[in-house]
Chain A
Amino acid sequence: MKIIVCVKQVPDTNEVKIDPVKGTLIREGVPSILNPDDANALEEALKLKDTYDDVVVDVISMGPPQATYMLRECLAMGADNAYLLSDRAFGGADTCATSTTLAEGIKKIGDYDIIFAGRQAIDGDTAQVGPQVAQRLDIPVVTYVQGFKIENGKAIVNRMMEDGYEEIEVAMPCLLTAVNELNVPRYMSVNGIVTAYEKEIKVWNHDDLQLDPKDCGLNASPTQVFRSFTPPAKGKGEIVSGTEEEVARNLVNKLKEKHII
């Protein structure tokens, strides 16, 4: 069984801060990490490898050359092969163009039974690339997967809903997007780290994927960023302290003023 996992290197948005005076992003020193949901996607694939014989787990990413660091991390967690789709022509891609390129890369790897992706990447939070790759490969997709097993050659997944979940049977090959409730990702193993550095990461450009540059990246992106800005900070309000009774009385008066009680 072959499993392909789509992984993305993202800035750790938890570490991104806004300069309170200038209102700009402070990006310095913000580490790049494996997108959190993608770690869950990889973990689910590696769990299959732990359970069954002859499972091969490949990771694929589209991104700049630096993404090899993250791919090595994936290898060190236990992935077998890593592919990086990297080309200036892929730059500036929206989800539509990203999914085209990833789908071509996945076709070139070929012969997959399951593709795992993360539900969403924390830099853009769109949650679109997974289902879009599935559409382009013409395979079924289930998003928001919080539980997964294989039974009689079919995948049985729990799809998280706002008020519970649905148990869904889906034919393979299929694409599943993982949420962080799915599992707890493992750490890299010492052995893994050693072998990760011995492995070659295959890097493919648009020629390797037989993609015309006009069909990739910014050129193939229907959406464009018109402008971006930091959200205006809301002014700080009133701060009170005092005994519980004082604070409570104060608050009740406030709520009365606003006709809430």
Chain B
Amino acid sequence: MAVKVINDKCRGCKLCVKACPFDAITMVGKLAEIQSACTACGVCIEKCPFDAIIREESDEVKDLSAYHGVWVFAEQRENKLMSVVIELLGEGRRLADEIGTELCAVLCGNHVDSLAQELIGYGADKVYIANSPILEKYRTDAYTEVIYDAIVEYKPEIVLLGATHIGRDLGPCLAVKADTGLTADCTRLEIDPEDKKIKQTRPAFGGNLMATIICPNHRPQMSTVRPGVMDKAVFDENRKGEVIPLQVKITEDDVRTKILNIVKTAGEMVSLTDADIIVSGGMGLGSKEGFDKLKELADVLGGTIAASRAAVDAGWIDHSYQVGQTGTTVKPQIYFACGISGAIQHIAGMQNSGLIIAINKDENAPIFEVADYGIVGDLHKMLPAITEAVRKELESK
């Protein structure tokens, strides 16, 4: 599928040149010409008042009917499922039901059998499980080989992975081996009611643009999905499912990396994606100590603190607390943004919060564009007053 200009219809108005997000259209003489930077995103097609730009459909059709089932990569660390796995099972269930197919989980680790029942309780009809000391800790070569073999044998039509540091390492390697496409960091998945193919929507251009991606002629269709975006599956201990062991053919010698040491810097995993209440701070805090004020409010509300990237870069707080495009995507009931300007990369990670409350001394700060409740003022004065008022209210109950 490519985009092409019909020269007879082009009037040289240049609207497409201005509209192209990728700077891929230039004027050659009086006619628009699509250059190699084109990604076939189609923005120009809609912009052209003369219908002079069209999409060329490719006519090659492959037989993809051998592929069935929606797979979820059941990422575990230290024998605990990552919470994004539960979200993927929730989303995967919905997709599988719409297609009319089964939902499966693929689980790798060492002695992880007990997790299979948990995956079934969360909705998996089948769990493919690979147990081996080689798979104890995630390593690219080992996980790629084992899961690739399973894909070849069982032919899933969709494979979903969490967009964690592990999922974003494994996904691309699997996609190349399986000779298929992979859509990164999706925030929405839909099944086309007509052809039952998946439509994957993700932010691009730092969140300024959303793109819906399809993978029409290759299987499996693969996506990594941002943690914290999809709704979790509900656990039902009475659910029944099948457990299918996978063969582990590789040996330790096939794995080209060795983990020497694991260092945890964040005390425990900061669970921003699970938090109902987040009190987040940025450069407006003025210093590391500013986070103490946030912590006080978070503590009375039973919430957790978080930060903008600028505050992380300033060294005031660990990276694991960062909300945004290159941090965590969060969806709490309430999100307090204190002294955060509201750069697009930050907003990308918190705009789906239930209630957004912003405190900023600059009334023109972009954060107010997304805030439900904007407080113009100095956070150093506002925060203690709010903490105090909330505390009083709770005590009076």
Name A's B-contacting residues (CB within 8 A).
Answer: 11, 13-14, 16-18, 24-25, 27-28, 63-64, 86-92, 94-96, 99, 122-132, 134-136, 139-144, 156, 158-171, 174, 181, 217-218, 221-231, 233-234, 236-241, 244-245, 247-249, 251-252, 254-256, 258, 260-261
Residues of B within 8 A of A245 (CB): 385, 389
Contact of B213 among A13, A132, A142, A224 (CB under 8 A): A224
- Complex Cα distance, B370 from A139, in Å, reads 45
Residues of A within 8 A of B319 (CB): 160, 181
Question: Closest CB of chain A to B231's CB: distance in Å?
Answer: 20
Residues of B within 8 A of A92 (CB): 2, 36, 38-40
**Is the beta-carbon distance between A164 and B386 smaller than 8 angstroms?**
no
- Complex Cα distance, B176 from A96, in Å, reads 7
Contact of A131 among B169, B210, B211, B213 (CB under 8 A): B169
- A222-B217, A223-B214, A228-B21 as given contacts; A127 in contact with B265, CB under 8 Å: no
One of B93-101, B128-136, B255-263 contacting the partner: B255-263
Is residue B42 contacting chain A, with contact meaning CB distance below 8 A? yes
Main secondary structure of the interface of B (DSSP, over half): mixed
Of the four ranges (under 10, 10 to 19, 20 to 34, 35 or more), the interface on chain B belongs to 35 or more
One of B5-13, B180-188, B243-251 contacting the partner: B180-188
**Is the beta-carbon distance between B262 and A166 smaller than 8 angstroms?**
yes
Residues of B within 8 A of A142 (CB): 140, 257
- Complex Cα distance, B266 from A161, in Å, reads 10
Contact of B333 among A91, A94, A251, A260 (CB under 8 A): A260
Could you pull out 12 A-B pairs where Cβ atoms are within 8 angstroms?
A: A95-B182, A129-B172, A135-B176, A222-B218, A224-B215, A231-B209, A236-B374, A238-B374, A241-B363, A248-B382, A248-B390, A256-B393
User: Which residues from 345 to 380 on chain B have a C-beta closer than 8 Å to any C-beta of chain A?
Assistant: 351, 355-357, 363, 368-377
**Is the beta-carbon distance between A230 and B373 smaller than 8 angstroms?**
no
- Complex Cα distance, B388 from A245, in Å, reads 9
Is residue B110 contacting chain A, with contact meaning CB distance below 8 A? no
Is residue B239 contacting chain A, with contact meaning CB distance below 8 A? no
Indicate the member of A134, A142, A226, A249 with the most B CB atoms within 10 Å: A226
**Is the beta-carbon distance between B199 and A226 smaller than 8 angstroms?**
yes
Residues of B within 8 A of A143 (CB): 140, 165, 168-169
